């Protein structure tokens, strides 16, 4: 195999942030842009990958709403209490949950022989898990699968690219009254004592040992922090 020359085809989304294809070509390394306006049809990330990430992320958001201790008067107040750190961890965990099979199948429209499309899509399985969680939210008891689909696609327009003129227009037409969007005061960062941490980690360790989904790595990781505390 080492005697064969290196050959590669780099397929890119047709976005203005990318350099010209000619500047990316060298020898047997070629770059090709997808045709304009076909992102939803061909772009690998739009073939189930982003859908799976969004499903997993929103499952975590719903769990936070459900696990709230009732100290919030409304769902909106609870959502405002979600921090950037929460979001970063959720997105990271959601991306890690995307399977290799999902990534392979995302290239199927560009390379049809890669994957078997008869298998159940991971995103569909995630959607079926979201519905029971939504029904646990007060006021959402009558939610349906259509509700889940609408919620997952409600931000689709946010992925479009805007011209400079469109961005300026959006900023200039922004409503002046942003009182409903003001962030609440940051909660006081109360230091946790060693004894409090040790007790909490002891409970978490027992929970992991009793959980059939936990791995030996999970167990060792929690024991390490229990010993530190």
C-alpha 109/C-alpha 229 separation (Å) is 51
C-alpha 77/C-alpha 81 separation (Å) is 6
Query: What residue segments make up the domains of the chain, in order of their start?
Result: 8-38, 44-156, 198-228
Could you tell me which residues are beta bridge partners of residue 31?
10
Mean pLDDT for the chain? 77
**pLDDT tens, 1-44?**
455 567 888 888 777 788 888 888 888 888 888 887 776 677 77
Q: What is the pTM of this model?
A: 0.58
Sorting pLDDT into bands at 50, 70 and 90, what band is 120?
Answer: very low
C-alpha 78/C-alpha 71 separation (Å) is 9
Sorting pLDDT into bands at 50, 70 and 90, what band is 91?
Answer: very high
Share of the chain above pLDDT 90, in %: 5
48 conformational bin, left if phi > 0, alpha if psi -120 to 50, beta if neither: left
Q: Which two tokens stand for residue 19?
A: 């350099």
**pLDDT for the residue 193:** 86
Q: Is the pLDDT of residue 202 over 80?
A: yes
Q: Is the pLDDT of residue 182 over 80?
A: no
């Amino acid at each position: 195999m080492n005697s064969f020359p290196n050959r590669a085809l780099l397929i890119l989304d047709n976005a203005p942030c990318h350099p010209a294809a000619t500047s990316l070509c060298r020898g047997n390394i070629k770059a090709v842009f997808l045709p304009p306006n076909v992102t939803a049809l061909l772009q690998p990330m739009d073939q189930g990958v982003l859908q799976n990430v969004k499903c997993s992320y929103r499952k975590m958001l719903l769990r936070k709403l459900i696990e709230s201790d009732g100290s919030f008067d409304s769902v909106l107040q609870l959502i405002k209490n979600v921090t950037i750190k929460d979001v970063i961890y959720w997105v990271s965990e959601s991306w890690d949950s995307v399977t290799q099979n999902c990534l392979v199948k995302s290239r199927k429209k560009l390379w049809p022989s890669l994957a078997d499309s008869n298998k159940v899509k991971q995103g569909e399985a995630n959607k079926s898990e979201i519905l029971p969680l939504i029904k646990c939210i007060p006021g959402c008891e009558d939610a349906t699968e259509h509700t889940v689909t609408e919620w997952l696609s409600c931000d689709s327009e946010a992925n479009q690219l805007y011209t400079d003129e469109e961005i300026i227009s959006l900023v200039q037409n922004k409503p002046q009254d942003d009182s409903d969007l003001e962030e609440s005061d940051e909660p006081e960062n109360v230091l946790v004592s060693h004894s409090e941490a040790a007790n909490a980690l002891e409970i978490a360790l027992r929970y992991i040992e009793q959980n059939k989904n936990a791995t030996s790595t999970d167990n060792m990781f929690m024991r390490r922090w229990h010993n530190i505390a």
